[in-house]
Amino acid sequence: MASRPDDQTSQSYAQWVRRSIIRNSNSRSLLVSLFESSVPEPRDLLRDVLLEGFEAGMTSRYASTFVKGNPYLVAALARDYGVREEQVLTTTGATGALSLIYRALLSPGDRVLVENPSFELFGNLAQASGIAVDTFERPAPRFAIDPGAVEAGLRPETRMIVISNLHNPSGMAVDDATIAALGEIAERHDLLVVVDEVYAPYAGTRIRPAASLDASPRLVSVNSLTKIFGLSTLRCGWIVGDESVVNPVRELAQEVDFAISNLAHAVSALIVEHPARFLDNTFSVLAKARPIIESYHAYWLAEGLAEGELPESGCIAFPRLVGIGDTERFSGWLSDRCGVLVAPGEYFGAPGHVRLGFAMEPSRLDYGLQALTDGLITYREHNKQLETP
């Protein structure tokens, strides 16, 4: 068991992204954002949905979200998860969902146990609510979860375990048996397991939502339209779980969350009810991108430039760069030299790694990965003095 370490960086990941973009905005070099972690926003498809829903008048899916959320969206999600509508709470994005969970279900003195490496908001949102954070390790290269290690990391004050599936930042999957084992741990220790599943749809039917497993009422699913569809603009997220868990979160949301857009969630309902064309777009992008990242990854391994495995599904990877311990410094050097941004592992609790997003147009991806490859070779051979001894 480990308490959450002091931040190894002077800024948050979101701050790093904004500053890096600004830093490169005046450069004449092509900026390839290999830190992007979803498919590009499908604007043409979004336009089609808007025209279909609103060109001839107001769609019937336009409804108030104030009482129980958009009823059409809630019904579609309940159908997809195989649960009662009362088990679904729609939110302002997945981040909003997790924030509500923390505030509604935890109290000062409680602790949460968060995976490491992890998406930094898992811990930061808890700490912002006055909740202490401990971590357990998901070790490379598979970043698997050992239920025994998780249970050993619990404290008497631990009230919640938070994980991601597919894992952010590595993209690796957690199988149903492991999720069920975590549910059993939750039963034994009177706590909850929250599973951020924003990347899970990339795995298709290979991964079932935690809340759909019927393994334990203490398993809670969180998701959104941001990653699988590239629709962060809609700010549409949701929580699915047992009513005993969802109801207190709903009560808090009715008191504090007035920001859910009727329009955005009406459009979200139209998409969730008929997602096929959006899914086709996502997997078409990946079908073209996957061979490119596989080719470069194989080269990095063969040349000793990187270590690790590519995940079977998804649009992100998390290789360890051989001989480069300070990946935040390397990322800055790479962006200055090549106009290519990679996400440093420091922001996920794993210095020496970088998170790569590869769901993009093939020529752009090839350019970015070639620049990264050239940078790895040059940096390792000629810039070792930049690394702290």
pLDDT-based confidence at residue 4 (cuts at 50, 70, 90): low
Give strand pairing partners of 132.
111
Domain 56-273 has CATH 3.30.930.10: no
Q: What is the mean pLDDT of residues 158-171?
A: 98
What is the value of pTM for the model shown? 0.94
- CATH 3.90.1150.10 in the chain is located at 9-37+278-381
pLDDT-based confidence at residue 31 (cuts at 50, 70, 90): confident
**Helix, strand, or coil (residue 37):** coil
Q: What are phi and psi of 33, to 5 degrees?
A: -90, 85
Class of 9-37+278-381 per CATH? alpha beta
- Per 3-state DSSP, the chain is made up of helix, strand and coil in percentages (nearest 5) of 50, 15, 35
- CATH 3.40.640.10 in the chain is located at 56-273
Cα separations in angstroms, 366 against 140, 158, 290, 300, 311: 26, 45, 11, 14, 19
- Interval 340-381: pLDDT, tens: 999 999 999 999 999 999 999 999 999 999 999 999 999 988
- Interval 300-312: pLDDT, tens: 999 999 999 999 9
Least confident of 100-104, 139-143, 213-217, 256-260: 256-260
The residue assigned the tokens 């709470």 is 89
- C-alpha gyration radius of the chain: 21
Q: What is the mean pLDDT of residues 315-326?
A: 96
